[in-house]
Structure formats: structure tokens, C-alpha cells
């Protein structure tokens, strides 16, 4: 029983350098990311480098990792080293308008209050202010940054693998524009600021398509499942973020006109 308990605990957590990170995705999803990174590594023949160049690369990687941790704080997670190589994950929240229109194609009129659009399909429309983050997971080869880019995967809960593949291609082009230099900060900032524009989703995001097989980039990991799963998930995530922001921000009391943080509102109401 004790051994089983330890195994279950290990599946829910990943030990990192000096800390333990809770894994919010299923263990299968985490294993898939690590498996893809290993697959990408095995598919590339790295150049032989001098000891001096290896030391330079190692120092540049360490400096970059420390800088990223300083910039992104709680959204930056150092993972276990894989065969001696540094790896980490960054959760990237997109820069988007105040409201994001979402549309999902449905298969029947009974699903989620669907309404007919101009096509023969049924669609469901809703709006959110927040989307689950993009997960960029990187494995740094010994020849980075001098010769080859990081191995990486992009995991997105609400995009198809085809669209995620387009984002992967853009990251490749950013590396080609500045080979031999640290690139991860540029990747993160581009994903944060420009992802929606590249995909043409400045005003409306189309979920799916569902029921179709996509042969995309192996680095693209899509979390889309079905409208019945994805729509409630996005709504719940949005509601949780709205509530979290309400608790953090200041609000004016309609009785005394003083400002209080959202988590103090209930307490203040008792004294009026």
C-alpha cells in the first residue's frame, strides 16, 4: 500500500531543482510531452563541439534560464534534466482584446443551445475574456545556442494541431532570423503578443474542426476534444480567472464609497 501511495504521488507531481511542481494535466499528457521531446532529440544529429564551446553554451543556457525565471516568475517551471540536458516549461498568457468571441461547430440542434448560421452546420457562440495559456516546453541541446535551436513542443487546450503547427513554424522562422543566439525570450514574447493575429483570430476564434484527423507538426499538441468538453472547460476557466481578478482588484463600496479589494467586500458588507 505504501509503495502504491508513493507511485500515485509521483504521478501527480514532478520533482524539479529544489522544488516540486504540481502537474495540472493528466500524467498521460505530461508523458506525451516528454516523449515528443525525446523523439525530437533522437531525430537530430548534433555537431561535435570543442570543450570550450560546450562550456560557453552551458553558461549561456544557465544565464538564459535565470533571466527567464526572473521575468516570468510563477509561469516558468524548471523540469528535471533529461540525459543531462536542461528542460523547462513556460505558461504563456495571450495578449487579447477585452472580449474574445468563440464559435464551435456542433452536430445537432440539441447541443448547448445551438443556432443555425449561414452554412448547413449548427454553431454555438459565446465570449470569454481569458483563454488557457499556451504551454511552451523546451529541451536545450548541448549545441544550443551556438548551432541548433531548442527542441520544443507547444501544447494548447483550445487550438487544433494544424493551427498549433503554424505557430511552431513561426518559432522556426524566428530562430532562422538570428541563428547562434538565445531565442526563447523572443519566442515567448511573440507567442504572447502575436499568436492570435497570425491565426487570423483577432476578433473571433473558431474551435475545432472536430471529427477530422490532422497530420500536423509533431511538436504541436492539441487539447481539443469535443464541443461538449471544450466549451464548458473554456467557460469555467474564464469564470475562475474573472473571480480571481475580482478578488485582487479594488472596488468602490456603494455605501461608503471607499475602495476595498474584492476579497474584503464580503467582510465590509457585514459592517454597513
- SS3 call for 69: helix
Q: Check residues 257 and 84 and name the one with the higher pLDDT.
A: 84
Q: Check residues 237 and 23 and name the one with the higher pLDDT.
A: 237
Q: Are 106 and 143 in contact (CB under 8 A)?
A: no
Q: Residue 191 sits in which domain range? A: 27-269
| Domains: count for the chain | 1
Is 139 within the bounds of a domain?
Answer: yes
Is 231 within the bounds of a domain?
Answer: yes
Q: What is the mean pLDDT of the chain?
A: 81
Is 262 within the bounds of a domain?
Answer: yes
At residue 223, φ and ψ (nearest 5 deg) are: -105, 5
pLDDT-derived band at 249 (thresholds 50, 70, 90) equals low
% residues pLDDT > 90 (the chain): 54
Distance CA 97, CA 12 (A): 34
Mean pLDDT of 24-29: 52
CATH number at residue 68: 3.10.110.10
Is 170 within the bounds of a domain?
Answer: yes
Is 5 within the bounds of a domain?
Answer: no
Is 11 within the bounds of a domain?
Answer: no
Q: For 143-157, write each residue's pLDDT tens digit.
A: 999 999 999 999 999
Q: Give the residue among 21, 150, 138 at the shortest CA–CA distance from 74.
A: 21
Whether the CA torsion 94, 227, 126, 232 is positive or negative: it is negative
Is 20 within the bounds of a domain?
Answer: no
Give the pLDDT of residue 103: 92
pLDDT-derived band at 187 (thresholds 50, 70, 90) equals very high
What predicted TM-score, i.e. pTM, was given to this entire model? 0.79
Give the pLDDT of residue 261: 59
Is 16 within the bounds of a domain?
Answer: no
Using CA atoms of 141, 145, 146, 148 in order, give the dihedral in degrees to the nearest 10: 60
Give the pLDDT of residue 140: 97
Amino acid at each position: 500500500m505504501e509503495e502504491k501511495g508513493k507511485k500515485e504521488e509521483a504521478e501527480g507531481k514532478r520533482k524539479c531543482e529544489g522544488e516540486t511542481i504540481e502537474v495540472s494535466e493528466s500524467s498521460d499528457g505530461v508523458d506525451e510531452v516528454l516523449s515528443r521531446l525525446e523523439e525530437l532529440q533522437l531525430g537530430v544529429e548534433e555537431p561535435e563541439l570543442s570543450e570550450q564551446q560546450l562550456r560557453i553554451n552551458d553558461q549561456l543556457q544557465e544565464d538564459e534560464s535565470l533571466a527567464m525565471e526572473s521575468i516570468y516568475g510563477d509561469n516558468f517551471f524548471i523540469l528535471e534534466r533529461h540525459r543531462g540536458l536542461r528542460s523547462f516549461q513556460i505558461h504563456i498568457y495571450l495578449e487579447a482584446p477585452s472580449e474574445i468571441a468563440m464559435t464551435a461547430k456542433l452536430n445537432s440542434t440539441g447541443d448547448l443551445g445551438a443556432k443555425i448560421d449561414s452554412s448547413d452546420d449548427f454553431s454555438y457562440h459565446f465570449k470569454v475574456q481569458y483563454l488557457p495559456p499556451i504551454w511552451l516546453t523546451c529541451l536545450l541541446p548541448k549545441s544550443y545556442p551556438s548551432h541548433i535551436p531548442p527542441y520544443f513542443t507547444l501544447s494548447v487546450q483550445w487550438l487544433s494541431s494544424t493551427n498549433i503547427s503554424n505557430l511552431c513554424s513561426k518559432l522556426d522562422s524566428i530562430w532562422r532570423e538570428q541563428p547562434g543566439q538565445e531565442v526563447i525570450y523572443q519566442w515567448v514574447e511573440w507567442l504572447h503578443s502575436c499568436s492570435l493575429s497570425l491565426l487570423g483570430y483577432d476578433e473571433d476564434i473558431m474551435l475545432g474542426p472536430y471529427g477530422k484527423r490532422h497530420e500536423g507538426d509533431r511538436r504541436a499538441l492539441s487539447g481539443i476534444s469535443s464541443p461538449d468538453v471544450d466549451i464548458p472547460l473554456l467557460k469555467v476557466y474564464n469564470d475562475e480567472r474573472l473571480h480571481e481578478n475580482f478578488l485582487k482588484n479594488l472596488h468602490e463600496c456603494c455605501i461608503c464609497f471607499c475602495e476595498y479589494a474584492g476579497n474584503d467586500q464580503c467582510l465590509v458588507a457585514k459592517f454597513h
